[in-house]
């Protein structure tokens, strides 16, 4: 089976007064049809830029200068603008972090949904409204038939995010990109919205790119995961394989940084050292200034991506000697603890 999305060696740069930001530096990964895939990494590692590169909605100063983004066999980077507009929304839908910025406060939900539905599904207003109500109902908006005439401010944050999910899914996309879809919401609401996303993904057989910081969410929803660091993919594989036996020192450090409840903490622990600046990033392996296993070669030569069984891919000079391993029980305990800490923050 071919991937629905095959991102091949893309380089996306931003041109700023201080210099060129090398945001994506040869990123490759794929998403199979109907597959929920996780995209994970610290802030600034290129997750959103990857999604925006695929949809060609980068900020004005950004450009994907090379590589291919193959969607259903077609390179999106080569498509004329007109065809790309059809892909956006109808084929590939994206849900952003903050539901308020994606809804226009001065229009009723009905107008904001039916307009896109009738445009993309080529149907009349009446049918578009029926589809909209049906979708709102499916994502758990109570009294959808009545509430569709309300304005965004009349809904809570969680309900607004459900509306955006309904709007995205009403166009029957094949691929859903959800970029930190719950971080702007209360913790209790986060779980409900994630449950909706998980349910809808299964029910509609969607391929999904779920961008998140939360390893608990990754474990629960995704089948495969791509770990990003400093504008590169450092490790890819089946979620269960990576959770039990991370092979890249950065992935290992991510799990290590899940906090323990025994120590009194008000915020999540992070991996020691700074996330790299992507103007003049570190040479060789971009993780070397923070890696406790780094050797001389790491600061000089970019590690190649090695592929082996079950779709596993790792970019580290020393992963074979290191043989990093996290025991199942230890990890489960740590993931639970992390979620508890999040709720208490």
Residues contributing to the site for Mg ion (CB under 5 A): 47-48
**CA torsion, points 139, 144, 147, 150, in degrees to nearest 10?**
50
Residue sitting closest to Mg ion (CB): 48
Interaction with ligand ATP in 263-292: which residues (CB under 6 A)?
Answer: 278
**Of all helices (H) and strands (E), which one includes residue 69?**
strand 62-71
Return the range that interacts with ligand SF4 (CB under 6 A); candidates 102-110, 129-137, 252-260, 291-299. Answer: 291-299
Note whether 215 binds ligand ATP by CB under 6 A: no
Site membership for ligand ATP, residue 49 (CB under 6 A): yes
Q: What angle do CA 246, 251, 254 make, to 5 degrees?
A: 125
Beta bridge partners of 211: 39, 179
β partners of residue 178: 95, 210
Tell whether residue 62 is a contact of ligand ATP (CB under 6 A).
Answer: yes
14 binds, among ligand ATP, ligand SF4, Mg ion, none (CB under 5 to 8 A by kind): ligand ATP
48 or 335: CB nearest ligand ATP: 48
Per DSSP, 314 falls in state: E
Cβ 208 to ligand SF4 shortest distance, Å: 28
Please answer whether residues 316 and 247 qualify as being in contact, where contact means their C-beta atoms are separated by less than 8 angstroms.
yes
- Interaction of residue 232 with ligand SF4, rule CB under 6 A: no
Axis-axis angle for helices 157-169, 125-138 (nearest 10)? 130
Answer yes or no whether residue 194 interacts with ligand SF4 by CB under 6 A: no
H/E segment holding residue 337 = helix 328-344
Based on the shown chain and the rule CB under 6 A, indicate whether residue 14 belongs to the binding site for ligand ATP: yes
Instruction: Please pick, from the candidates 17, 59, 81, 321, the single residue that binds ligand ATP as defined by CB under 6 A.
Output: 59
- The strand ranges marked E within 196-288 are 207-212, 224-229, 232-238
CA-based max dimension of the chain:
67
Q: Which two tokens stand for residue 25?
A: 């530096």
Q: Are the beta carbons of 19 and 280 closer than 8 angstroms?
A: yes
CA distance 171 to 86: 11
Which of 46, 173, 237, 303: binder of ligand ATP (CB under 6 A)? 46
**Nearer residue to ligand SF4 within complex by CB, 288 or 313:** 288
CB of 7 to ligand ATP, least distance (A): 14
Does residue 93 bind ligand ATP (CB under 6 A)? no
Q: Which of 63, 121, 223, 318 binds ligand SF4 (CB under 6 A)?
A: 318
Residues at the contact surface with ligand SF4, assessed by CB under 6 A: 248-249, 285, 287-288, 291, 293-294, 298, 303, 316-318
């Amino acid at each position: 089976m071919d991937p629905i999305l095959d991102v091949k060696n893309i380089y996306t740069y931003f041109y700023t007064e201080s210099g060129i930001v090398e945001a994506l530096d040869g990123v490759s990964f794929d998403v199979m049809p109907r597959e929920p895939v996780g995209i994970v990494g610290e802030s600034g590692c290129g997750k959103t830029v990857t999604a925006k590169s695929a949809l060609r909605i980068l900020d004005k100063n950004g450009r994907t200068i090379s590589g291919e983004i193959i969607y259903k066999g077609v390179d999106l980077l080569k498509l004329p603008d007109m065809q790309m507009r059809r892909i956006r929304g109808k084929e590939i839908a994206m849900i952003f972090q903050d539901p308020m910025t994606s809804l226009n406060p001065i229009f009723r939900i009905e107008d904001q949904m039916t307009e896109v539905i009738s445009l993309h599904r080529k149907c009349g207003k009446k049918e578009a409204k029926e589809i909209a109500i049906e979708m709102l109902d499916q994502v758990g908006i109570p009294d959808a038939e009545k509430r569709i005439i309300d304005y965004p401010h009349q809904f809570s944050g969680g309900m607004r995010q459900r509306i955006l999910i309904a709007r995205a899914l009403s166009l029957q996309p094949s691929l859903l990109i959800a970029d930190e879809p719950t971080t702007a919401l209360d913790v209790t609401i986060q779980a409900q919205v994630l449950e909706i996303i998980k349910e809808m993904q299964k029910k509609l057989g969607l391929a999904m790119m779920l961008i998140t910081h939360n390893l608990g969410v990754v474990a629960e929803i995704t089948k495969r995961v791509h770990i990003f660091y400093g504008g590169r993919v450092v490790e890819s594989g089946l979620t269960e394989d990576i959770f039990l036996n991370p092979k890249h020192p950065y992935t290992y450090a991510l799990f290590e940084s899940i906090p323990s409840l025994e120590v009194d903490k008000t915020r999540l622990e992070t991996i020691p050292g700074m996330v790299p600046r992507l103007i003049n990033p570190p040479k060789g392996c971009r993780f070397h200034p923070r890696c406790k296993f780094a050797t001389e070669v790491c600061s000089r030569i970019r590690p190649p991506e090695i592929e082996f069984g079950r779709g596993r891919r790792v970019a580290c000079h020393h992963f074979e000697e290191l043989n990093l391993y996290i025991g199942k029980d230890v990890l489960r305990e740590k993931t639970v603890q992390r979620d508890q800490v999040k709720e208490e923050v």
